[in-house]
């Protein structure tokens, strides 16, 4: 095993068996991205969609590593999570629009203008671009002084997010609540209507910038709770190792997490229905996040019709 892969597995806390996933699926995908970059002749912006806990951050990190080590390209990873509005901004949004918008996650709780600006600047030829970061343990943005920057030019930008690429819903789809949260806290549909409006307008500008789309398709929304609980456990372990005891109080219990992910249910299920036929590279997952099928529903090269 190559040393860089061994170090990657250790850093990412991945099992040795993940090498099979890399060899069978992600290395060929990295090769295709490298070909797309060569054909485009410019910075390639790649969107990665996957429900919470599906492994999209790991996929982005793996592709970045492979593009660097195997194809000599400069790759940068971004997460939509790092573009959340700060706590104070979301509290104001909750007061002015709907109380549920205080909870981060859904469209409308991101700084889309910053997202657009960052992606456009990363596609530039020279300079340095600051990369925002969000501290989930404290539910707020990191100060700019604690965030890094990327020196341009960059060959590939890998942008991952749970709702990236998701289309807006019809008014008929919005009418019926999908869970207790919507029925109790959004009986008139004001919250989901606002979220859907944002998704159909501001977020489309982001989608238009992206050249390629990859999706990790979960088997169902029921898998998401367990996967997301695993994420919270890993976050708690990292905080404990780093000595950040004061941040432990901000982590969610299993019951709190169950309530939290109800905010995501509508659009996660909508994504699982609508996105698979719209992406270039589709990986279907089983309950253990193993890849069980691979498809190329819309495998067009840049510039092709």
Which of 63-72, 139-148, 165-174, 222-231 has the lowest average pLDDT? 222-231
The tokens for 147 are 């965030």
- Contacts of 217 by beta carbon, 8 Å cutoff, 6+ apart: 50, 272, 275, 276, 282, 283, 284, 285
| CA atoms of 88 and 257, how far apart (whole Å) | 22
Residue ranges and CATH numbers for the domains of the chain are 41-295 (3.40.50.300)
> pLDDT (tens digit, 9 = 90+) per residue, 63-105?
999 999 999 999 999 999 999 999 999 999 999 999 999 999 9
304, pLDDT greater than 60: no
Query: 243-287 pLDDT, tens per residue?
Result: 655 455 556 777 788 888 999 999 999 999 999 999 999 999 999
Over range 37-54, report the average pLDDT.
Answer: 96
Residue with tokens 């819309």: 298
pLDDT value, residue 301: 46
Contact 159, 78 (CB under 8 A): yes
User: How far, in Å, CA of 258 to CA of 240, rounded?
Assistant: 23
* Structural contact between residues 66 and 27, judged by C-beta atoms closer than 8 angstroms: yes
- Do 250 and 134 meet the contact criterion of CB atoms below 8 Å apart? no
> Is residue 149 exposed (0-12), middle (13-18) or buried (19+ Cβ within 10 Å)?
exposed
What pLDDT is attached to residue 226?
86
Question: Which residues, listed in sequence order, are joined to residue 256 by a DSSP beta bridge?
Answer: none
The mean pLDDT of 163-186, rounded to a whole number, is 96
Q: What is the rounded CA–CA span in Å between residue 42 and residue 48?
A: 19
Q: Which comes out higher in pLDDT, residue 32 or 248?
A: 32
């Amino acid at each position: 095993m190559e040393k860089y892969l061994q170090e990657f597995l250790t850093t990412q806390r991945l099992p040795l068996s993940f090498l099979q996933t890399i060899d069978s699926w992600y290395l060929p995908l990295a090769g295709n991205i490298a070909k797309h970059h060569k054909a485009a002749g410019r910075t390639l912006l790649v969107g990665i969609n996957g429900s919470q806990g599906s492994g999209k951050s790991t996929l982005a990190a793996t592709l970045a590593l492979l593009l660097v080590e195997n194809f000599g390209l400069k790759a940068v990873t971004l997460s939509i999570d790092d573009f959340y509005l700060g706590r104070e901004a979301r509290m104001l949004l909750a007061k002015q629009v709907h109380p549920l918008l205080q909870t981060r996650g859904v469209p409308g709780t991101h700084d889309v203008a910053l997202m657009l600006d960052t992606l456009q600047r990363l596609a530039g030829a020279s300079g340095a671009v600051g990369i925002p970061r969000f501290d989930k343990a404290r539910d707020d943005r990191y100060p700019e002084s604690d965030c890094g920057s990327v020196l341009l030019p960059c060959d590939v930008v890998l942008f991952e997010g749970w709702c990236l690429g998701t289309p807006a819903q019809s008014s008929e789809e919005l009418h019926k609540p999908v869970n207790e949260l919507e029925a109790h806290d959004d009986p008139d549909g004001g919250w989901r209507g606002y979220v859907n409006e944002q998704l159909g307008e501001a977020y489309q500008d982001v989608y238009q910038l992206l050249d390629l789309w990859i999706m990790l398709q979960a088997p169902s929304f029921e898998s998401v709770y367990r996967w997301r609980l695993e994420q919270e456990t890993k976050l708690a372990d990292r905080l404990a190792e780093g000595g950040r005891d004061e941040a432990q109080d901000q982590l969610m219990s299993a019951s709190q997490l169950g309530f939290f992910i109800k905010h995501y249910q509508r659009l996660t299920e909508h994504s699982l229905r609508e996105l698979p036929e719209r992406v270039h590279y589709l990986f279907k997952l089983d309950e253990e996040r193993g890849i069980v099928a691979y498809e190329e529903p819309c495998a067009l090269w840049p510039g092709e019709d």
